[in-house]
Amino acid sequence: MKGHSYKAGIFLKDESRADWHDKTLWMVRQKRDKAARSVADWEDLRERASSIKEQVLSNLDFYLSEFEQRAVENGVKVHRASDAQEFNEIVYKIVTDNNAKLVVKSKSMLTEECGLNTFLEQRGLEVVDTDLGERIIQFRKEPPSHIVLPAIHLKKEEIGELFHEKLNTPKGMSDPVLLTSAARTHLREKFLSAGVAITGVNFAVAETGSVVVCTNEGNADMGVHAAPVQIHCMGIEKLVPQTRDLAVFTRLLARNATGQPITAYTSHYRKPKPRGEMHIVIVDNGRSDRLKSDIHRSSLKCIRCGACMNTCPVYRRSGGHSYGYLIPGPIGSILAPSYNIKKHTDLPFASSLCMSCSNVCPVKIDIHDQLYKWRQELSEKGAFSPVKGLVLKIAGFILSKSALYDFSGKVARVALKWLPRRMVYSKINVWGWERELPAVPQESFKKWYSKNSGKNNL
C-alpha cells in the first residue's frame, strides 16, 4: 500500500490541475467565510451545536431508545445493525422482500462506509446513485474525493467525455448546463422505475422520531416519494434531542459547507406516505467503541460539512483520493486510523497542524489536537515506517541534549553546504522530492540571538 505522501506526489505532478483544485476549494472556503460572517451569533451557534452533540453523546442510549419508540409509533420499521455486514443484509432483505430490482440512492457516507452498493450489486440488484456528483463517480467506478463535492477532482471536459460514453451525449459537449440536463433526463427514468429509495440522514430527532435530509438537488425527495419503499440509513451519532435543535444545525450546515444560507431542500420524514413503507436502519459499525474512548470520541460530533477539507492546505494540494480512505481531509485522517490503524498510519501526518480545520469546524471538534494525539498513539504503538521511526528516535535523542543539539546544528550547516546534491536530495528524503532547502545561514539562531538580544531589549 502506497501512503498519502506518495499519492500526493502523483497528484502534484500535474501542476496546473493541482493549482486549479487548490483554487476551487479555496473559493468554497471564502464563500463559507462570507456566509459565516453574515450571522451575528455565529460563534454562539458553534458553541451550542457542540454542546448539543456532547449532550447526545453522553446520553446516547436514552436518545436512541426515545427515537426508536417514537419512530415505531409513527408507523416506521426500525432496524439496528451492529456492523457493516449486518447493515448490508438488512437493506438487502428489505429490497428483496419487496421484489425490487432497482434501488435509487441519495448521498450517504454511511452506505459508502459499509460498501452497500457492491453488496447489492453482487446479488444482482441495480443501484443508482442519484446525486449528480455521485453518479459521475459511480460511472467512473471510483470513490468520492470529497464528502460534499464528490466529483471536485474532475474537469468538465472529463465529465463530458464520460457522459458521451455512458449517456450518449454529443462528443465534445462539456457545458455544465447541458451535461446536468442529460443527467436529469437519465435519472428521472431511474426515479420513476425504482422499487426502493435509500437516503442517508443528516439529523434524527429523538422527540419526534423523524429524520432530516438536506439536499440541493432534491434527489432524496424524488427517490423517496416516487418509490413505494423508503429506507433511511443513519449512524447512531446523528441524533439530536429536539426539533428546536435543528435550528442550530440548519443555520450552520450549508453556510459552513458551501456558503449557502440553507440547502434548497431540508426534508423532514416522519411517517410513511399513504400505502408506502418507511424503514430506518440505525448503524453502529465501530461508533460505540469510539464513544468509549475519551481521546477520540469528539470525532463523533462531525456533521459532515466538509469545511475542514476545503480549508486544509494539505487536502487542497493533494486531492481526496490521496488519503486512501472514503472520508479524506482532516476529519478523515482522525477517523480512518480508528477503523484500521495499520492501513492508515500515515494519515495523522497528512497535516501541517495549522489548526485551520479546528477553526472552521461548526461543532468545534479539536481536529488538530486529535491528529496530534493520534501521532503520539501511533508512535507508542511503534506503528511507523522504519525510516520515519528511526529519524524520530534520533531527533528525540538529539533534541533532549542541548550540547549535542548545538553540535548537530554546526555539523548540518557545514554538511549541507558541502555535501553533494544527490546525497541531500536522496530517495530516502521524501521531503526533498519536490522542495529545495533554503540557503544555509552562517550562524545558528541561538548564536544570533545571544549577540543581538541585548541591543533590542527583546
Partner 1 sequence: MNRDNLLTAKDLIPEFIESLAHVGAEVIKLNGKDSVLAYISENYPECITFENKEIWEEYSFSCSKEKLEKLGTIQLEGRFGVAENGAIWLDDNCFPNRLLPFIAQKVIMLLDSGKIVKDMGEAYDCVNECGYGVFISGPSKTADIEQSLVFGAHGPESLLVFLY
Among 282, 302, 326, 350, binds ligand SF4 (CB under 6 A): 302
Residues forming a β-bridge with 282? 80, 234
- Minimum gap (Å) between residue 198 Cβ and partner 1: 16
Please work out the total of residues on this chain that contact ligand SF4, with binding judged by CB under 6 A: 14
Question: Interface with partner 1 includes 266 (CB under 8 A)?
Answer: yes
Among 202, 263, 310, 351, binds partner 1 (CB under 8 A): 263
Question: Interface with ligand SF4 includes 307 (CB under 6 A)?
Answer: yes
With H, G, I as helix, E, B as strand and everything else as coil, classify residue 79: strand
Chain centroid offset of residue 346 CA: 16
The H-or-E segment that residue 378 falls in is helix 367-380
DSSP state of 302: -
* Residue 101 neighbours by CB distance under 10 Å: 13
CB 329 within 8 A of CB 369: no
Residue that is written with C-alpha cell 454511511 in the block: 110
Question: Interface with ligand SF4 includes 316 (CB under 6 A)?
Answer: no
Residue that is written with C-alpha cell 471564502 in the block: 30
Residue that is written with C-alpha cell 467512473 in the block: 140
Taking the C-alpha atoms of residue 28 and residue 148, their distance in angstroms, rounded to an integer, is 11
Encoded one letter per residue, x for contact with ligand SF4 by CB under 6 A and - for no contact, window 319-338 reads ------------x-------
State which of positions 213-252 bind partner 1 (CB under 8 A). Answer: 216-219, 221-222, 224-226, 243-244, 246-247, 250-251
- Minimum gap (Å) between residue 217 Cβ and partner 1: 4
Encoded one letter per residue, x for contact with partner 1 by CB under 8 A and - for no contact, window 405-444 reads ----------------------------------------
Among 180, 359, 385, 452, binds partner 1 (CB under 8 A): 180
Name which of ligand SF4, partner 1, none residue 303 binds, using a CB cut-off of 5 to 8 Å depending on partner kind: ligand SF4
CB 200 within 8 A of CB 107: yes
Taking the C-alpha atoms of residue 286 and residue 435, their distance in angstroms, rounded to an integer, is 39
Question: Interface with ligand SF4 includes 360 (CB under 6 A)?
Answer: yes
Question: Interface with ligand SF4 includes 306 (CB under 6 A)?
Answer: yes
Locate all alpha helices (DSSP H) within 263-339, ordered by sequence: 287-292, 307-311, 313-316, 329-339
Question: Interface with ligand SF4 includes 362 (CB under 6 A)?
Answer: yes
Among 300, 365, 371, 378, binds ligand SF4 (CB under 6 A): 365
Those residues whose C-beta lies under 8 Å from the C-beta of residue 408, and which sit 6 or more positions away, are: 398
80 or 225, CB closer to partner 1?
Answer: 225
CB 398 within 8 A of CB 390: no
Those residues whose C-beta lies under 8 Å from the C-beta of residue 111, and which sit 6 or more positions away, are: 105, 117, 198, 200, 233
C-alpha Rg value of the chain to the nearest Å: 25
Question: Interface with ligand SF4 includes 149 (CB under 6 A)?
Answer: no
- Minimum gap (Å) between residue 374 Cβ and ligand SF4: 14
Residues near partner 1 (CB under 8 A) are 24, 27-28, 39, 74, 130-133, 136, 149-152, 154-156, 159, 176-177, 179-181, 183-184, 187-188, 191-192, 208, 216-219, 221-222, 224-226, 243-244, 246-247, 250-251, 258, 260-276
Residues near ligand SF4 (CB under 6 A) are 302-308, 331, 360-363, 365, 367
